[in-house]
Amino acid sequence: MDRISRKNWVLIWVLGMTGQICWNIENSWFNTFVYDKIAPEPAIVSWMVGVSAAVSTFCTFLVGTWGDRRGRRKPFICVGYILWGIFTFIFGATEMIPKNPLFIAAACVVLADAVMSFFGSVGNDGGFGPWTTDISNEHNRGKLGGALAVMPVFATIFGAVVSGIIIEQIDFFAFFGLMGGLVALVGIFGFFTLEDAPGLRPKKDEKGFWHQFLTVFNWNTVRENKELFWVFLVMTVYFIGFNVYFPYITIYFVNYLGYGYGMTGIIQGVGLLAAAVMTIPAARFIDKGKTPQVILTALICNMAGLVMVSISQSLVVLLIGVFGAGIGYILVLQALTAWMKNLYPEEQRGQFEGIKQIFFVCVPMIIGPAIATQVINRMGVEMEVSGTVGMVPGPSLFLVSAVLTLFTLIPLAAAGKMNRQRLQGQIR
């Protein structure tokens, strides 16, 4: 049984945590930034999240295929992180754009976020993701999945708690500059420390790059990887529900519940930190082939937590709700990460990271916020934010998300059946 080296574990945590902090800041504070500095308009957030998701998905396919053909991940990781950091800083500068007409300011914000997301996907999704698959195997991916699942939790603690406090002190522009500099420095660090997996070899389609790029878009690919695509569908349905509420959760805490940025971060951070403890026992069940059962447990916790958040009238109830939703999110991500990586075709790991992005990012982050926009406009609360009247999300957003999450059980049943059949076949 090959072990992941200590050096690679350090790189997993440094690169992974930095990437997750930056994604968390984008998912939480970029949206709050729009409400505070541009306009309290949910449609701007929806467009920003959706366009960013589409760009990220295409980029991951592109870079994943390129990395498979070259047998290299390092250049994409390092260069991607450096440019990711630079454009995070540039995004913050959009607050200086005149707000009249609003369409121009909104378009600039969406474009800046898309460019930043492109380079983020170059480094993190198209480079770092396949690299973690290259250096791991089916015997240690439960632990790897656990590490990758708790990173968003720790990132949320920083991205919510610490970031909220910093933003209250120095405001958004300086904060985005600070974070952009950190990400760029990590990319430079990678140039001197990171190495590609020793067994990684170029895998070129003799018919050319674009033929290889498009080979995954055919029915045979689906037919040969049925279980994997059902797992992808589990991911899609779950994250549609997740992206109904998550892009707006900080806005809800700040504007509807009236908490400050710092307190909002503490609420999310404390709840998720407590939930992260569950990854330790979950890893054991996942490595024993009980992944579907872990996901089922997670879904129950998730839905219960969202209901608690929606009905909370006190800080204690709110914390319990965030804890339950956090358990759901962490365990689903942990379990799906290990499940997918065990099923990736060895010669197409980079490309399948791109396919994953369709189901994990592109579809959920387009559909989820689009649903949220309708829910907020119809069932939200009209109020003034930074001198501008707009619609703020209300408790109904979390109830809608809980209902949508329930539909995850349908693809989970099919994927779980195939998982049992595959494991029984291996035993025989």
Spacing of C-alpha 367 from chain mean position: 15
> What does the pLDDT read at residue 164?
74
> What does the pLDDT read at residue 426?
63
Higher per-residue pLDDT: 269 or 15:
15
- At residue 427, does pLDDT exceed 60? no
What's the whole-number mean pLDDT along residues 298-305?
94
Higher per-residue pLDDT: 207 or 171:
171
Residue 376 included in any domain: yes
How many domains, the chain? 1
Minimum mean pLDDT range among 25-34, 37-46, 135-144, 165-174: 135-144
Q: What is the 3-state secondary structure of the chain?
A: CCCCCHHHHHHHHHHHHHHHHHHHHHHHHHHHHHHHHHCCCHHHHHHHHHHHHHHHHHHHHHHHHHHHHHCCCHHHHHHHHHHHHHHHHHHHHHHHCCCCCHHHHHHHHHHHHHHHHHHHHHHHHHHHHHHHHHCCCCCCHHHHHHHHHHHHHHHHHHHHHHHHHHHHHHHHHHHHHHHHHHHHHHHHHHHHHCCCCCCCCCCCCCCCHHHHHHCCCCHHHHHHCHHHHHHHHHHHHHHHHHHHHHHHHHHHHHHHCCCCHHHHHHHHHHHHHHHHCCHHHHHHHHHCCCHHHHHHHHHHHHHHHHHHHHHCCCHHHHHHHHHHHHHHHHHHHHHHHHHHHHHCCHHHHHHHHHHHHHHHHHHHHHHHHHHHHHHHHHHCEEEEECCEEEEECCCHHHHHHHHHHHCCHHHHHHHHHHHHHHHHHHHC
> What does the pLDDT read at residue 1?
42
> What does the pLDDT read at residue 57?
81
- At residue 309, does pLDDT exceed 50? yes
CB atoms within 10 A of CB 108: 17
What domain range includes position 32? 6-427
Local confidence band at 348 (pLDDT 50, 70, 90 cut-offs): low
Q: How far apart are CA 196 and CA 181, in angstroms?
A: 25
- At residue 279, does pLDDT exceed 80? no
Residue 201 included in any domain: yes
Residue 281 included in any domain: yes
Local confidence band at 222 (pLDDT 50, 70, 90 cut-offs): low
Residue 377 included in any domain: yes
- At residue 378, does pLDDT exceed 80? yes
Residue 325 included in any domain: yes
Residue 125 included in any domain: yes
What's the whole-number mean pLDDT along residues 283-305?
87
Residue 398 included in any domain: yes
What's the whole-number mean pLDDT along residues 191-218?
72
Residue 1 included in any domain: no
> What does the pLDDT read at residue 408?
95
Q: Which of 44-58, 114-128, 402-416 has the highest mean pLDDT?
A: 402-416
Local confidence band at 307 (pLDDT 50, 70, 90 cut-offs): very high
What's the whole-number mean pLDDT along residues 320-344?
85
Higher per-residue pLDDT: 303 or 209:
303
For residue 54, give the CATH number of its domain. 1.20.1250.20
Higher per-residue pLDDT: 306 or 274:
306
- At residue 137, does pLDDT exceed 50? yes
* Average pLDDT taken over every residue of the chain: 83
